[in-house]
Structure 1
């Protein structure tokens, strides 16, 4: 007696599109290159936004002494306030911006990977 018939169903359009997308990226077709360029553009835009935030936050520190000259001459535990700001307060700002950048860059890469991955979303 032959085994029972088994119904074979072709991939749905959505699944076929995902597999085709992955092949286009792997074979470096025009569509695949456009997708990779899009990822690179997104990462560059993110890096420029974060760099702008850092430059504005750190660059505005000297303006504090222009606006409030007393802040430039103030002392805290025998050390000038400008040194405290530059040596202590700047690093947490850089850390927060760095962590935000890494998370956002990872999110961009994950979205790209989800787009080209052949798994069902």
Structure 2
């Protein structure tokens, strides 16, 4: 062991990063549209209202499909009483359709709504960014 100083390399300074708050390369129309949406101008309110209306009517249509399917089952069993006597794996068809079918049907309709809602959102964003 020597009593002298050990040679150590100076610590490397971290590289500086440039922070940019706004992307100056964005088209002026995109910035103008975003500003109008933030300021809630009459045009922006109409665009948002149209987006909400689209989402709402998508939900109403899919809910209508569910109501028609589930509402028609009792009518079908009433009009065709022979169907109520059919059994599948020891379970009567009405119990099977009304007790088991709602779960996969509702899951499918919910998934379908999610796909459509995301598509509407992408369309809205694409419209705003153009």
Aligned pair partner of 1:24 in 33, 36, 52: 36
| TM-score normalised according to structure 2 size | 0.72
- Answer yes or no: is the 8 Å Cα contact 1:18–1:115 preserved in 2: no
- The offset of 1:22, in angstroms, is 1.0
Q: C-alpha separation between the residues in 1 aligned to 2:52 and 2:114?
A: 15
Unaligned stretches of 5+ residues in structure 2: 1-24
Residues 62-105 of structure 1, C-alpha deviations (whole Å, 9 max, x = no match): 12212210111223333221110112222222222111110001
Query: What does 1:52-71 correspond to in 2, within 5 Å?
Result: 52-71=64-83
- The offset of 1:41, in angstroms, is 0.5
C-alpha root-mean-square deviation of aligned residues, in Å?
2.1
Q: C-alpha separation between the residues in 2 aligned to 1:76 and 1:103?
A: 33
- The offset of 1:112, in angstroms, is 1.2
Aligned pair partner of 2:62 in 40, 45, 50: 50
Q: C-alpha separation between the residues in 1 aligned to 2:86 and 2:95?
A: 10
Aligned to 2:93: 81
| TM-score normalised according to structure 1 size | 0.77
Task: Extract structure 1 runs of 4+ deviating beyond 4 A.
Answer: none
Of structures 1 and 2, the one with the larger relative CO (CA 8 A, separation 6+) is 1
Q: C-alpha separation between the residues in 2 aligned to 1:68 and 1:91?
A: 24
Greater helix share, 1 or 2?
Answer: 1
1:93 aligns with 2:105: yes
Q: C-alpha separation between the residues in 2 aligned to 1:26 and 1:113?
A: 14
